[in-house]
Structure 1
Amino acid sequence: MSDTTAVRPAVGWIGTGRMGLAMARRLADAGVDLAVWNRTAAKAAPLADHGADLAHSVAQLRDRDVVFTMVSTERDLEHLLLGDDGLLADPRQVPGTVVDCSTISPHASAALRTACEERGTAFLAAPVSGNAKVVEAGRLTVVASGVEDTYHETVPLLRHIGRSVTYAGEGEAARLVKIAHNLMLGIVTQAMAETAVLVEKGGVSRHAYLEFLNDSVMGSTFTRYKTPAFTTLDYTPTFTPALLRKDFDLGLAAGRSLDVPLPLTAATAQLVQACVSSGRDAEDFAVLLDLQAAASGLALTPEDAAVDDGLSGGGPAHEVRPAR
């Protein structure tokens, strides 16, 4: 971004699924000059009520200073950037910077970074941690990597989206951080499922166990906001087993590439695969609880208990820098 646009850059947004919609809304509500596009236009339409302009094509975003992307797969991202009608298809007009918040492989990210830079567009990898409800509560966290000057230029926008922004370094460092994070996500959820089933089969309610867990040194933001799903068995999706399987595939590939054994990851990957294979790939990945119960001969029923998801408030944004 140039000095003349640094105060209020023109921003584009591509991808308004559950996460993308919530993230783009935070930019719009912060007064950012925002234009949005989504393949299914109706999913972007609610942002008009928040002051965003609705683009009718990706091409309409080519003149933006910064364009954010939030899509499901690296193939989708490649098509949106490099396809015949993509963001970078016209060499006469390209955006200043692409900030990609998707979860994709480091290899694909590096290839797209090169393609952007060859066309005169900076590229920042900025995957996020959280779901749409976390975004709305102001608790999203962001990890970014790329050229440090590009990071400094875009971090004011990232702070509108996330409670904290961590700069991980050059290149694709943020991709590896996000992949490792999502491995932890699946492993912790499976650990919650196993232990919750263990205590329930021993006669203790799930909500009592989770209340104790959440208030102990083992409790976390994540265990708290997964507690309602585990208690009520409401598996309305925030993140699906199919998407988690993709991230486990990326994590296991990274382990092979870096010669790091990942035994817990490998075991959990099979359980995530079991969720997909059982036909429950469109529900929330908390269905790991149901599969664990079935394997243990336990029939689960919803528990009528008041539980706190821990997402009230949000706190100010802060930035985390790597140790020098």
Structure 2
Amino acid sequence: MTDDTPHRPRVGWIGTGRMGLAMARRLTDAGTDLAVWNRTAAKAAPLTAHGATLSPSPAELRDRDVVFTTVSTEQVLREVLLGEAGLLTGTDRGPGVLVDCSTVSPEASASLRAACAERGTAFLAAPVSGNAKAVAAGRLSLVASGPRETYERVAPLLRSLAGTVTYAGEGETARLVKIAHNLLLGIVTQALAETAVLAEKGGVPRHVYLGFLNDSVMGSPFTRYKTPALVNLDYTPTFTPVLLRKDFDLGLAAARGLDVPLPLTAATAQLIQAAVSSGRTEEDFAVLLDLQAAASGLALEPENVPVDDGLTDAPAAGHQI
């Protein structure tokens, strides 16, 4: 008799920050055989309660069928792959597939793809959109690029991670999609800050304006799940101004290389830099609201109103003054 049981890949995970921890947990909760490594082991330890094992170094994950990486910068990604005890360091054979979910430049991605190819490891660029709460709610979005065969090989794992998975083609196309996405993320947040301050200075509470916006054709899942932070001034970080600045730098560099003018992006980049320069580096990038209010002579206070973020069943307060 033949065993028709489908192969269940052995998976490794590198990087368990806010996003990585939530994403890795979705795999463990789906029954995946998962080994994890994080520079600060305590941040990965909660996954052991969900069936994951801790790895002493990235190098120890080389025997895995698939390894995911989700880290903050290109420099960190290169270090965990090619630095001391890195996943690809000092070996002629790496894991079967490396899936990188970080936001890095197309050039850095191509360089790491080549390093993987030298070791017989297939490489998929797979950056994501969302925050840890969106991951838990099954609302993460993922865009992937690389060989179609590699994509199909890991697609079941990708669908365990994300509510929507988009294949963008060969090479590094997913990187440009994610960079363009994050430019819009910053521009929309600045637009929300400007219009909310305009409405409030004219006597309209933020929750009323944003509630109307979210229920209109201009609303989106993003404007809805950013509304609690803007209404109640809760800047618990999901994505910091420093990381957003990094992505705007990537976007402006890509635009120069492709000769594409980005005037709105350039203006927003200066406002993001102002947030960083003012010391608001460890809070959520929604602090753009505070900077806009200060420039408008408006002192903000939390409205302490329960509002729907689109991800939970929290009761809505309505949009009345």
Q: Tell me the TM-score normalized by structure 2.
A: 0.95
- 1:141 aligns to what? 141
- 2:113 aligns to what? 113
Sequence identity (%): 76
2:75 is the alignment partner of 1:75 = yes
Contact 1:6 1:153 in 2 (8 A): no
Aligned residue-pair number = 311
User: What does residue range 1-324 of structure 1 map to in structure 2 within 5 Å?
Assistant: 7-91=7-91, 93-312=93-312
Contact 2:93 2:121 in 1 (8 A): no
Question: Per chain length, whose mean CA-contact separation is higher, i.e. which structure has more relative contact order (CA < 8 Å, sep 6+)?
Answer: 1
Contact 1:183 1:247 in 2 (8 A): yes
| Structure 1 residues 291 and 4: alpha-carbon distance in aligned structure 2, compared to 1, 3 A threshold | farther
Deviation at 1:91, TM superposition (A): 2.3
CA distance in 1, matches of 2:312, 2:34: 27
2:62 partner amino acid: R
Deviation at 1:4, TM superposition (A): 9.8
Deviations 1:149-200 (A, max 9, x none): 0000011000000001000000000000000000000000000000000000
Matched residue SS, 1:95? coil
Deviations 1:91-113 (A, max 9, x none): 25420110000000000000000
- 1:322 aligns to what? none
Contact 1:105 1:250 in 2 (8 A): yes
Deviation at 1:56, TM superposition (A): 1.3
2:129 partner amino acid: S
CA distance in 2, matches of 1:109, 1:287: 30
CA distance in 1, matches of 2:124, 2:282: 30
Deviation at 1:36, TM superposition (A): 0.4
Moved more, 49-58 or 17-26: 49-58
Q: Tell me the TM-score normalized by structure 1.
A: 0.94
2:123 partner amino acid: F
Matched residue SS, 1:110? helix
Deviations 1:255-299 (A, max 9, x none): 100111000000000000000000001100000000000000000
Root mean square deviation of aligned Cα: 1.4
CA distance in 2, matches of 1:107, 1:176: 10
CA distance in 2, matches of 1:48, 1:152: 29
Matched residue SS, 2:168? strand
Contact 1:128 1:143 in 2 (8 A): yes
Matched residue SS, 1:169? coil
1:26 partner amino acid: R
Deviations 1:289-318 (A, max 9, x none): 0000000000001102220000138xxxxx
Deviation at 1:82, TM superposition (A): 1.2
| Structure 1 residues 272 and 299: alpha-carbon distance in aligned structure 2, compared to 1, 3 A threshold | same
CA distance in 2, matches of 1:287, 1:259: 31
CA distance in 2, matches of 1:264, 1:24: 35
2:311 partner amino acid: L
5+ long unaligned stretches in structure 2: 314-321
